[in-house]
Structure 1
Amino acid sequence: MSPQDPTPTYSLELFPPKTAERMERLKGEIATLNTVAPRYFSVTYGAGGSTRKGTFETVSWLRRQGIDTAPHLACIGSTQGEVLELLEHYREQGIDRLVALRGDLPSGMGGGIGGDFRYANELVAFIRERTGDHFRIEVAAYPEYHPQSGTPDRDLANFKRKVEAGADAAITQYFYNADAYFALVERCQALGIDIPIVPGIMPITNHSQLARFSDACGAEIPRWIRRRLEGFGDDLASTREFGHQVVLQLCRRLLEGGAPGLHFYTMNQSGPTLRLWRDLGLPGGA
């Protein structure tokens, strides 16, 4: 593995709820998740800024609780002025970590959306130009390559541009094949990319939901896992138990292989992530 901070980073991702009722529910889930003292919570940012208000509210609430927070900042369709306003807003809140992304086009917009940024590397470079080293910048990486990149080589070249623009670390899209992650790290090393690449971990709790997400983002569900999940049908208990064991073994292999931490996509549910956390023996999970 590449040179890393010797202390692994374990972090959690949330998405902004759409209603006040769901926000209240999320506050309870966050309180439960925070009992294991994750390094930080990241908060997603919808296509074309579609969840901007919800992201702000969720981030602001986390900061009022004294919780380290890394807002997602997606640049597609945004102007430099809008991004600068966001950066200043977050600096005023004492935030020093961001997840910088290109983001997806809002549904139905096609290629007609405006803005000053085309790619995430342009956003990273802009953040560095305007704020220096104030923010630790995390970017996305794709063990199975981003579906819009066309080829793995093109995807890796895109990733390298983000690193050269000033990214400090990367978080991967979720995956279930550890070999894909280790292959990505090896290819990065060969190109002189030595930033930490933290695996993104998606608990398996619902087969149809997972299949829908995976089809949309290009993440592969290995055939043997798909077949087993399909075989459980509506048996959610069996789905969750099998899914837990699959992801638990994946995490163990990643950590044993030198991964610099884990970033859990919680889907705003504390139970599945905390069970993994505790079974892995991660700090604070006893």
Structure 2
Amino acid sequence: MRKSEVASWFKSLQSSICEQLEAADGLAKFQEDIWERDGGGGGRTRVISNGNVIEKGGVNFSEVFGVTPANILEALKLEASNFFATGVSIVIHPISPMVPIIHMNVRYFEMDNGIWWFGGGIDLTPHYIDHGDAQYFHAALKDTCEKHHQEYYPRFKSWADDYFFIKHRNETRGIGGIFFDRLSEEGDLNFEDRFAFVKDVGSLFAPLYTHLMEKNKHKDYGEQEKKWQLLRRGRYVEFNLVLDKGTKFGLDTNGRTESILMSLPPQANWMYDYQPQTDSKEANTLAFLKKGVDWLELN
């Protein structure tokens, strides 16, 4: 009963977010691809491209089940049992370097032996950090978290700083957000409490990002800003292919490769040992790509 309830809500979330993104973009429409997984289950991949604001994006729903692969059991330190996993995963790459990249994932996992948990997160990756946007983004996350538990925002904000960190570059992927995993029954928090929190996080995505789209889509930019955007996209690719656990889980459970790698940008660049000019907009952005920044206190 739990898994069907969660999967049904995630499906409705996917549809709602797609409708709101289409309205905010004003041109592009999502294309749907229904797929099945050999080991059990499947999903709905919805991709959008070449819009007024969005260059490439995806809002994916999946519902997969079956025998838990041995490497997953080992990695998660679980006893052998069949699994069920469902979730919505989103990545949006805008055309303009003045509009940020955004990612969100909300997911549910359970096993036949009774183990269950929720996980997910939402983070923002601006090509150029706008302190006002960062404050707006984190304030919205904090408000949502505090509706459910006073410890959620500081705990999950710190978790995001640690998770969305490109270790080999010694920099965060962007300005972070919140990240959480293995939220199950704990103290007076039960399934209904955790699910209500995940619903609010999922429902926050569209109004939060469409606001940032509208605010930034008309800002001027030139060749230098596009060059920097492609370099920052390269960092995004490095994180997703080298460090992202969701990518690894999807591939390890024989998920659909095209849907899993939907998160990658349409174009990205790498330049050998690129160093931005001192006191440039690019250098100022790099200076804030670190853990522990209190975005709510910045002026």
Common topology (TM > 0.5):
no
Instruction: Report which of the two has the higher share of strand.
Output: 2
The answer to which structure has the higher helix fraction is 1
Q: TM-score, normalised by structure 2?
A: 0.27
Task: Output the TM-score relative to the length of structure 1.
Answer: 0.28
